[in-house]
Amino acid sequence: MTSTSSRPAIAVTGLRKSFGDHVVLDGIDLNVPAGTVFSLLGANGAGKTTTVKILSTLSRADAGEARVAGYDVAREPDAVRASIGVTGQFSAVDKLFTGEENLRLMADLHQLGRAEGRRRIARLLDQFGLTDAARKPSSAYSGGMMRRLDLAMTLMGSPEVIFLDEPTTGLDPRSRRDMWQIVRDLVADGVTIFLTTQYLDEADELADRIAVLDGGRVVAEGTAEELKRRIPGGHVRLKFAGPEGVDAALGVLGQASRDNDALSLRVPSDGSLRSLKTLIDRLDERAIEVDELSVHTPDLDDVFLALTDEKVTVR
């Protein structure tokens, strides 16, 4: 579908935008290699949608440079539009039309011939599980179906870069998982995805790289693993059959603390094999029976809260 060259799909330097006195983007830099999923993570009002609007030519930056698919968004908006697809937070679907008619509209606007258009409509309907609902008015679609139709419409033009602005906000868990699978399939086809989300598990699940946006700045960037490593807070959780086990273990393991549940202990640990072996050896020496042992590395929630917490307390 796309040429996998060394050029980044999206390159942003020093992007700034304010509305009046309110600074929304305070100089952000981003680099998204082609064929990857990049996730912009942030709370409501962090500047995610503004970033998408600028990159998709809907809005102009006050300063900074942004190139999408190799084209400058300010100077070559036509070429950018020809290279991208955007699925926003609010469904961009004609609600008086059926699913099929909505796709037909997109096919016509992309100047696809009648036969080619019909072929692609059938394929997209099938790929997105909408074949049965194709002739129903889209106003009767469920939230998940509407979002899938929305994305199918975006794909009609075979975009090289796809912007998904909070694609699963308001969807039920099942529809979210469907959407995730669709995103994975797209990436497998070589498309670049720029995803904004406020859900950490979504970024963790899908993104190759994550940038955490807070107060108009990128406060952290890296893979999910890299971000997690920045935050201490890993621990081992031990579960015992009875209170004697808990007491015995507390005697042996100095740093252990009781977990919420009376029969469990939390022991700080970096999760490495060596530290686990030491821990198990100590328990073994005293013949303390452990029912269950689980290792917890910090999840993105910990990272996100740690990275964005300061700001909240300052305010």
If binding is defined by CB under 8 A, does position 19 make contact with other proteins? Answer: yes
Which residues have a Cβ under 8 Å from the Cβ of 110 and sit 6 or more positions away?
Answer: 156, 157
Kindly state whether residue 65 participates in binding other proteins, applying the rule CB under 8 A.
no
Considering the complex, what minimum distance in angstroms separates the CB of residue 7 from other proteins? Answer: 4
Burial 207-244 (b: 16+ CB within 10 A, else e): bebbbbbbbbbbbbbeebeebbeebeebbbbbbbeeee
Q: What is the CA radius of gyration of the chain?
A: 24
Nearer to other proteins, 216 or 234 (CB): 216
- Give the integer Cα–Cα distance in Å for 220 and 86: 25
The distance from CA 129 to its chain's CA centroid, rounded to whole angstroms, is: 22
Decide whether 121 or 283 has the Cβ nearer to other proteins: 121
Site of tokens 């530290």: 275
Residues 75-114, mask of contacts with other proteins (x by CB under 8 A): ---xx-xxxxxx-x-xxxxxxxx---x---x--xx-x---
Q: Is 168 in the site for other proteins (CB under 8 A)?
A: no
Residue 21 binds to other proteins (criterion: CB under 8 A): no
User: Of 78 and 225, which has the nearer Cβ to other proteins?
Assistant: 78
| Collapsed DSSP state (helix, strand, coil) of residue 30 | strand
Does the protein bind other proteins through residue 5 (CB under 8 A)? yes
What is the spatial distance between Cα 227 and Cα 218, in angstroms, rounded to a whole number?
13
153 binds other proteins, rule: CB under 8 A: yes
Under rule CB under 8 A, residue 23 binds other proteins: no
What is the total count of residues that contact other proteins (CB under 8 A)?
42
What are phi and psi for residue 287, nearest 5 degrees? 55, 45
Interface positions with other proteins (CB under 8 A): 2-3, 5-7, 19, 53, 56-60, 69-71, 78-79, 81-86, 88, 90-97, 101, 105, 108-109, 111, 137, 153-154, 157, 160
